[in-house]
Amino acid sequence: MPAIVPTTTAKTDAPAASSGSSQRRSRTAYLLLLPGLGWLGVFFVIPIATLFFTSLQAPVEGRSGVYQAAFQISNYAQALGDYWPQFVRSFIYAGLATVLALVIAYPLAYFIAFKAGRWRALMLVLVVAPFFASFLLRTYAWRTILADEGAITTALNALHLLPEDRILNTSIAVVLGLTYNFLPFMILPLYASLEKIDPRLIEASGDLYARPFTGFRKVVFPLSLPGVVAGTLLTFIPAAGDFINARLLGAPGDSMVGTAIQVNFLQFRDYPIASALSFILMAFILVVVFTYIRRAGTEDLV
Amino acid sequence: MSMSSGSSNLGFEVKDLELINLTKRFADFVAVDDLSLTIPAGSFFALLGPSGCGKTTTLRMVAGLEDPTEGQILLGGADLTRLKAYQRPVNTVFQSYALFPHLDVFENVAFGLRRRGIKDVSAAVTAMLELVELGNLSRRKPAQLSGGQQQRVAVARALINHPGVLLLDEPLGALDLKLRRQMQIELKRIQTEVGTSFVHVTHDQEEAMTMADTVAVMNKGRIEQMGAPVEIYDLPRTRFVATFLGQSNEVPGRVTGSSGRDILVDAAGARFAVPAARSAVETGDILVGVRPEKLSISTQGTDIGDGVNAVTGKVIDASFTGVSTQYLVMTSWGGEWMVFEQNHTLGATLRPGDEVIVHWRPEHTFGLAVDSPAVDGLVAESA
């Protein structure tokens, strides 16, 4: 993470308590960790191991949808070979949605943090409010909003702004849907890091000859970077693996990796390919995330 | 002051700061009320007052962080009133410093120079860090510095821009007592060295008196009294100043006549002489006042000689503080007086319950108008 996150080294030099009580205390700490570790073990480690073994399975001759343990690494090559366009689309759509969400969320989060005053709590509730309705339902609502006969499409068509004369069932709709659905994941971390910035730093930058925009660029934005990093990751990662938006708002040609995984699991019952796809997606996302964090962390923030 | 601008020994342009009929009204109250004031070039000026008296608002208007409702701000004759904060040749040391946490000491100090497009900043920054004795810490982040060091960075960050006037908003409020004393001396040294005007806002009367050449005591958006610390401490003109700037003992009375250059006051069954030049009123009701360290205290019946003012009472508390003993005396009319007595002799000679006579020389007496309000108790202001 960026170096501007406050360091917590001070905690390590707490006075050493008598060894007996500190041992007891650390035992309590481990006990308290148990439920969390148990949860992770049962619901994360075991499924992921199962998924990994499934991704290497080979089909049983003559019985469709039945597989046996094997070490068939070719599943991965096949998955990648068959579905690379979906991978490319996933990353492009997720990337566009992340950029759009950042552009929309930053001013909003800034406003809530610095200007909203007594409306702050209400605005935060409004940001979270969409979560009260189901994800699926909200995505369906976008079908109505973007419908061919709807106000938005009609208006844009009148201005001849749409290349395909429609929005629904195009990649534009998928990106818009992704942006909308993951926007709160961008706003909340941005708000959290902007809210921590002392407004007097903005005054101080003005006092030191920085015009408002320079002050933003040199002081506020660098200090909000932890929020930018967290927000973009929280938006990009789920958006890259999403399958609902492409399904409901896009054309078949707009399908993403999530769609491919879903179809392989539920329709083709090709569990090894679906598992291999999941692992490849995970690997790609990890690479993207680590590259991004490294860059954001070492970049000269001045 | 005839000097409107000039040059100090470190190449600072020193300029007079003039506030003309400066007023700031918020929705339901007047924070600064028709303030007119000239701060001569090169002075160390303190705006002293309790919380909410308008001192910080005044400072923020000079900095350009608050727009005045009315009035003008001139620096070396040039009108700043309509300029934005980033256009003003004025810099601020903020309360709790507002250092940029993501920049190291060097970049914090260089910030103002870089914003003005100065490319080669390193010589200036190094010189400034030398001035505040932080040369070896230039690559530290603010969070890795102690409070006193952060204070110095804040001063360096502002001073490097050679402001026409440096504004300090409660600069020592976040420091502990010992460090505060040290920084008072330090700030005074820096001010003397660079020669630019410092305008210092504080609620701490000792801080104001230690550092400033001129102290303006503010109350309710107005200046109650202004002058050299010794002057206004010795001769407060209002009850507010008498009680805010140090401690004051008072007895209410009535002017009954005069004798030479003194006016004579009957109060609490005794007669007091007050130099006419030291009294805010010459007839009618008056408060006779005197500072606690000007008092002498003896057991009743002691011969105190002629020509002194005296009140009688009973010691209700005696506390030994090392350099002095502080007595709280319940006077004959029911007022509480504070007496500081130097410990010339060994041990406290008076105990609670002792009947005493408290006396002082007339030239230490001051006379105040009765209707002016005092400070309510001890004014404590949180940072």
- Using a CB-CB cut-off of 8 Å, the residues of chain B touching A206 are 64-65, 84-86
Q: Please report the pLDDT score of residue A15 as a whole number.
A: 45
Q: Which of B180, B175, B131 minimizes the C-alpha distance to B157? A: B131
Partners of A27 in beta bridges? none
The yes-or-no verdict on residue A1 having pLDDT over 60 is: no
- Among A232, A230, A151, A160, smallest CA distance to A192 is for A230
Instruction: For residue B99, list chain A residues with Cβ-Cβ distance below 8 A.
Output: 204
What average pLDDT score do residues A44-62 get? 93
The answer to the question of residue A177 being in a domain is: yes
Chain A to chain B Cβ contacts (< 8 Å): 67
CATH number at A166 reads 1.10.3720.10
Beta carbons within 10 angstroms of residue B203's beta carbon: 24
pLDDT at A27: 87
Interface test with A, best of B111, B140, B165 (most A CBs within 10 A): B111
Contact A206 B94 (CB under 8 A): no
Q: What is the pLDDT of residue B348?
A: 53
* Mean pLDDT taken over chain B: 89
Does some domain include residue A85? yes
| Residue pair B220/B261 in contact by the 8 Å Cβ criterion | no
Question: What percentage of residues in chain A have a pLDDT greater than 70?
Answer: 90
What pLDDT, on a 0 to 100 scale, did the predictor assign at position B197?
Answer: 94
- Among the partner-chain residues B86, B99, B101, the one whose CB lies closest to the CB of A210 is B86
Out of B95, B100, B158, name the one closest to residue A201 (CB). Answer: B100
Residue of B nearest to A199 (CA): B98
Instruction: Decide if pLDDT at A3 tops 70.
Output: no
pLDDT of B190:
92
Determine the average pLDDT of the residues in A50-77: 90
A102 occurs within a structural domain: yes
- Full residue range of the structural domain in which residue A106 is found: 80-298
Please tell me the least confidently modeled range out of A60-74, A115-129, B150-164: A60-74
Look up residue B295 and give its amino acid: L
ipTM above 0.90, yes or no: no
Residues of chain B in contact with residue A7, where contact means CB-CB under 8 angstroms, are 143
Question: Which of left, alpha, beta for B347 (phi over 0: left; psi -120 to 50: alpha)?
Answer: left
Half-sphere exposure at residue B172, Cβ-oriented, CA atoms within 13 angstroms:
24
Q: Which residues of A268-298 are buried (b: 16+ CB within 10 A; e: fewer)?
A: eebbbbbbbbbbbbeeebeebeeeeeeebee
CA closest to B110 among chain A residues: A208
Measured CA to CA in angstroms, residue A65 lies from A68, A107, A142, B300, B320 at distances of 10, 50, 35, 113, 95
Long-range contacts of A20-25 (CB under 8 A, 24+ apart): none
Sign of CA dihedral A233, A236, A237, A238: positive
| Average pLDDT of the residues in B161-187 | 90
* pLDDT mean over B76-104: 94
Q: Do B100 and A204 touch (CB under 8 A)?
A: yes
Contact A60, A68 (CB under 8 A): yes
Q: Are B257 and B217 in contact (CB under 8 A)?
A: no
Taking only the tens place, the pLDDT of each residue in B67-79 is 999 999 999 999 9
Cross-chain residue pair B65–A206, CB shorter than 8 Å: yes
Asked whether residue A28 is assigned to any structural domain, the reply reads: no
Band of the pLDDT at B227, cuts 50, 70, 90? very high
Mean pLDDT of B204-231: 94
Tell me, yes or no, if A208 comes closer than 8 A to chain B by beta carbon.
Answer: yes
Distance in angstroms (rounded) separating the CA atoms of residues A21 and A29: 12
Q: State how far the Cα of B71 lies from the Cα of A272, in Å rounded to an integer.
A: 79
Min Cα distance B164 → chain A (Å) is 13
Q: Is residue A171 part of a domain?
A: yes
**What's the rounded mean pLDDT across residues A41-49?**
95
Identify the weakest region by mean pLDDT among A188-197, B54-63, B139-148, B302-311. B302-311
In this prediction, residue B342 carries a pLDDT of 86
pLDDT of amino acid B320: 86
What percentage of chain B exceeds 70 in pLDDT? 93
What pLDDT is stored for residue B8 in this prediction?
52
- Flag whether pLDDT at A4 surpasses 50: no
Instruction: Give me the pLDDT at residue B11, please.
Output: 62
Give B51→chain A minimum CA distance, Å: 19
Phi, psi values for residue B21, rounded to 5°: 50, 40
What is the rounded CA–CA span in Å between residue B352 and residue B348?
Answer: 11
Q: Hey, are the CB atoms on B65 and A207 less than 8 Å from each other? A: yes
**Cα gap A2→B200, rounded to integer Å:** 37
The answer to whether residues B375 and B52 touch, using CB atoms and an 8 Å cutoff, is no
Q: Using DSSP, state whether A190 is helix, strand or coil.
A: helix
- Asked whether residue A12 is domain-assigned, the answer is no
Average pLDDT over residues B164-168: 95
What is the SS3 string spanning A59-76? ECCCCCCCEECCCCCHHH
Contact in structure between B95 and B383 (CB atoms under 8 Å): yes
Q: 0.90 exceeded by the pTM?
A: no
Complete domains list, chain B, with CATH: 5-234 (3.40.50.300), 247-368 (2.40.50.100)
* Inside any domain, residue A67: no
> Which one is predicted more confidently, A64 or B340?
B340
Is the Cβ pair A219, B91 closer than 8 Å? no
Burial (CB < 10 A; 0-12, 13-18, 19+), residue A104, is: middle
Report the b/e string of A62-92 with b at 16+ CB within 10 A.
Answer: eeeeebeeeebeebbebbeeebeebbebbbe
Calculate mean pLDDT across residues B362-372. 88
**Residue where the block lists tokens 């001063």:** B155
Q: pLDDT class for B307, splitting at 50, 70, 90? A: confident
Q: Domain count for chain A, please give it.
A: 1
Q: Does B92 sit within 8 Å of A223, measured CB to CB?
A: no
Q: Work out the percent of chain A whose per-residue pLDDT is above 90.
A: 72
What mean pLDDT do residues B344-372 have? 85
Does residue A198 sit at the B interface (CB-CB below 8 Å)? yes
B127 pLDDT above the threshold of 50: yes
CB A266 within 8 A of CB A99: no
For residue B349, the tally of other CB atoms under 10 A from its CB is 13
CA distance A3 to chain B (A): 8
Output B43 or B303, whichever has higher pLDDT: B43
Residue spans of alpha helices (H) in chain B: 55-63, 105-115, 122-131, 147-159, 177-194, 205-211, 229-234, 239-244
| Contact yes or no for A207 and B84 at CB 8 A | no
Q: Tell me what pLDDT residue A16 has.
A: 45
Asked if pLDDT for residue B323 goes beyond 90, the answer is no
Average pLDDT, chain A: 88
Nearest CB neighbour to B111, from listed A208, A211, A222: A208
Residue B2 has pLDDT above 70, yes or no: no
Q: Which of A4, A205, A302 sits opposite B101 (nearest CB)?
A: A4
> Can you give the pLDDT at residue B177?
87
CB B185 within 8 A of CB B152: no
Among A7, A206, A219, beta carbon nearest to B100: A219
Task: Work out whether the CA dihedral B113, B119, B124, B125 comes out positive or negative.
Answer: positive
At A2 the pLDDT is 42
**Three-state secondary structure call for residue B222:** strand
Give the SS3 label for residue A78.
helix
A58 is a domain residue = no
Return the axis-axis angle of helices A221-241 and A271-298, rounded to nearest 10°.
Answer: 170
